[in-house]
Structure 1
Amino acid sequence: MGRASYYVLERMDPVGTVEQRGVVGALALHGVESGHVLRHQRVGENAVRHQTRLLKERGGSVEPLLLAAHDLGAFHACVEETVRRPADQEVLIPEGGLQRLWACDVSWTLDPPALPPLLLADGHHRLEAARRLHRVHPGAVGDRLLALVVDYRRYPLTLAATHRVVPGLDLERAVRAAGRIARVRELPSVRRPVPRPGTYLLTGQGRTWGLSDISPAALAGRLRTLPAEWVELPAAISDHVLIPALCEDQQLAPAPRYTSHYPAPDEVGLILPAPTWDQIWAGAASGAGMPPRSTHLGPSPIPGQLGAPG
């Protein structure tokens, strides 16, 4: 965080329960180099180029980065002090509920306390695009991006896996192929079951199979070229073991589509168990990060609604 004004953002669900609360400010782009901001996701060049175009067109980003902190340190007192008075701005959330915004007292801006190390939860491509653009064309974008820091222990972020849809995959053949490298059992007809740790759900046509106890030989053979930190992570096992094995059996190129939602009934997909916070922090701290498209963290603030209240 830096010299810009600070705000407190709060998100409430339709029944009035606080589901998110944090501090909004400006994040310096050099936070990554200093080690104060840890990234858990590797970026894709196409997505970075897309974000670079948006930054040039808009002259900056209107969508705040989302950062997770173990705690807010002295900023917790700022939050508690600020929310005691009426909000400066209230915005209805499209899916129901309310987003509220307060300007913090100017004293917090004049002498801001330090924050602990932060985990970048959402906005990896926006941050990388801004860093690169500022290095090459400093005048095109400022050296700071709008960011929301959430104390996820007091106000937990949603932590879910990103799932896979595999176009062209024949479901019955996929079930048989999975049975050659894993324990496979069909699950009772339950609406959108959630996989337990170590279990993957192969779903389609209104039916679901649980895949577990994957062959150690299959794991070792296909994961040996990956970072050691990845070998137990669901996204790595999905993308480098399960999906290739199912696609090779049907002579298909493994080209999954990624989604944060359950696949449609007419799609064949793989539902992944969510990684843990410990795994995410460990990957960020080691530099290995997480496999691509591992997590879905949120909720993200409503874009364009965090200007100065008034």
Structure 2
Amino acid sequence: MANTDPQALRVLPFRGLRFAPDRVSDPSAVTSPPYDMIGPDEARRLADTEEHNVVRLILAAPEELDAGPGAPARYHRAATSLREWIDDGVLRQDVEPAFYVYEQTGRGVRQRGLIALVKLDDADESTAADTIAGATKPATKPATDPAAEPSPASRAILPHEAVTTSVVTDRLAQMRATEAHIEPILLTYEGDRTVSDLLDRVADLAEPLTSTTTADGTQHRLWALTDPAATGRIAADLLWHRALIADGHHRHAAYRRLRAERGGPADYGLALLVDSTRYPLSLHAIHRVLPNVPVETAVVQAGKVFAVRQTSDPHHALDEIPTGEHAFVLSDGSTHYLLTAPDPAVLADTIPTDRPEAWRALDATVLHHVLVEGVWQLPDTPEEVRFDHDPVHAVAEAARIGGTAVLLRPTTEDVVRQLAGAGVLMPRKSTAFGPKPATGLVMRLLAEDGVGG
């Protein structure tokens, strides 16, 4: 029975920490995109826009960057700011535990979901959630028999991408310093009508706690659901479901490491859960920028494996390629090249054979193993391979720095779920689900929400 299964999807209401309406007149001025969607210039702009912008809590100050991701001082400013804002009454914790109904509307899309605390799986810490760039990284194990631990395929929360040690360590340092979960991870599940109908009734009939429109034109609204009967129905229904991590793999891995350190409130992580049956998420590719590889060099080397031809339209050239055939676009902003028809012998020799065919057939797998590692012989580091969610921006950035943009096509959600359900992780930054939640509408204090182990 799912309701007695330790791997059931268990959610709890919590006392949210929110910006006080009487102290913050414009909620959009204090919110931000997720931490990994913010470049240095955008971070400075957000911090300068409002002294209480949440970017000050999720990113290290410039003077703290040299301390290293695991250094105690790295997020000293963030921790100090959080406590000062609470003491000054700019941030206030809600009196009653609640599930929070969250709506995003914009660009022809409306998405509603539930912000709640989610119980972290009781799985071996060395398994899929802590897999680093495709290889399993040993980690501290809980005091249980590893043979009795569930396989990744039996988890209630399914990761689908590998993570990078340095980023997980950085997120863990931020959580340790602030003693808080500032931004939720994004989970998607295939639900029935029970939870979604209830959330829709709340959003359609009640006045929101917060309503604001961010700079990208998206309207964000938030409601608190405190009725014990309603929260009980939601918790009981979600026990029967499994959730896919759509965004926040590094934060999820940091949640799990924090849990291994202390337990108690850290047994739960902050998450936005969206029923994809009612509100399907969009799925996009994440593109690459190679700052130190001129496009002429990238093309000559790639031509040893791929057929190469110039294209005048870098943003639509991939649309012409049939599904199942590998293809990429290389661009420096002025000249654009379409890569197709890779040598099957090179694919067979280069791509690991110990994974399912669906994993071997991913464009992200071919890019990482054949091009980045094999052809271009680049270390998969931020200095050599950058990620960009916007193909137009990726091409513009390549033009600005004299590097190469690599544009990909997205995979499908069916493939993501297939691999995640089998416990197989895609290469990191293979997918971009959206829309992502804004950061700063509701947060969670670890030590003050009353959640036990």
Structure 2 length-normalised TM: 0.61
The answer to whether the 8 Å contact 1:31/1:37 transfers is: no
Aligned-pair CA distance for 1:38: 0.8
Q: Does the Cα contact within 8 Å between 1:19 and 1:156 map onto a contact in 2?
A: no
Query: What residue number does 2:371 align with?
Result: 242
Given candidates 243, 247, 255, the residue that maps to 1:118 is 243
SS in 2 for 1:83: helix
Cα separation, 1, equivalents of 2:375 and 2:201: 55
Query: Which has more strand, going by share of residues?
Result: 1
Aligned with residue 23 of structure 1, among 100, 114, 120: 114
Following superposition, the deviation at residue 307 of structure 1 comes to 5.3
Q: What is the letter of the counterpart of residue 29 of structure 1?
A: L
Asked if 1:6 is matched to 2:93, the reply is no
Q: Deviation per CA, 1:183-235, whole angstroms, max 9, x where unpaired?
A: 222112x3633624432111114221111111101111110355234210111
Deviation at 1:8, TM superposition (A): 1.4
- Percent identical pairs in the alignment equals 29
Determine the structure 2 residue equivalent to 1:178: 302
Cα deviation code 1:116-170 (max 9, x no counterpart): 211011111212212222222236x532122111123432323111212223223
Counterpart residue number, 2:255: 130
The change in CA–CA distance for 1:61 and 1:243 in structure 2 (over 3 A counts) is same
In proportion to residue count, which structure has more helix?
2
What CA distance in whole angstroms lies between the structure 2 residues aligned with 1:146 and 1:174? 42
1:1-310 aligned at under 5 Å gives the runs 1-4=10-13, 5-13=98-106, 17-30=108-121, 35-85=155-205, 86-104=207-225, 106=227, 107-112=229-234, 113-115=236-238, 116-138=241-263, 141-188=265-312, 190=313, 192-193=315-316, 195-196=318-319, 197=323, 198-225=326-353, 227-228=355-356, 229-247=358-376, 255-262=384-391, 263=394, 264=397, 265=399, 266-306=402-442
SS class of match (2:390): coil
Q: CA deviation at 1:253?
A: 5.7
Q: Deviations over 1:63-82 (max 9, x none)?
A: 01101112354102212211
Shift of 1:11: 0.5
* TM-score relative to the length of structure 1: 0.88
Displacement of 1:261 after TM fit?
A: 2.7
CA contact (8 A) 1:10 1:18 kept: no
1:41 Cα deviation from its structure 2 partner: 1.4
SS at 1:95 equivalent: coil
Over aligned residue pairs, what C-alpha RMSD do you find?
2.4
Letter of the structure 1 residue corresponding to residue 409 of structure 2: P
Q: Letter of the 1:108 partner, please give it.
A: A
> Alpha-carbon deviation of 1:283?
1.4
- Of stretches 294-303 and 214-223 in structure 1, the one that deviates more from structure 2 is 294-303
Q: Distance in 2 between matches of 1:205 and 1:95?
A: 24
Structure 1: state its 5+ residue gaps: none
1:99 shift after superposition: 0.2
Counterparts of 1:221 and 1:25 in 2: how far apart (Å)? 46
1:142 counterpart SS class: helix
The CA deviation string for residues 84-142 of structure 1, in whole angstroms up to 9 with x for no partner, is: 22323212223122100122351212343322211011111212212222222236x53
Q: Give the letter aligned to residue 49 of structure 1.
A: T
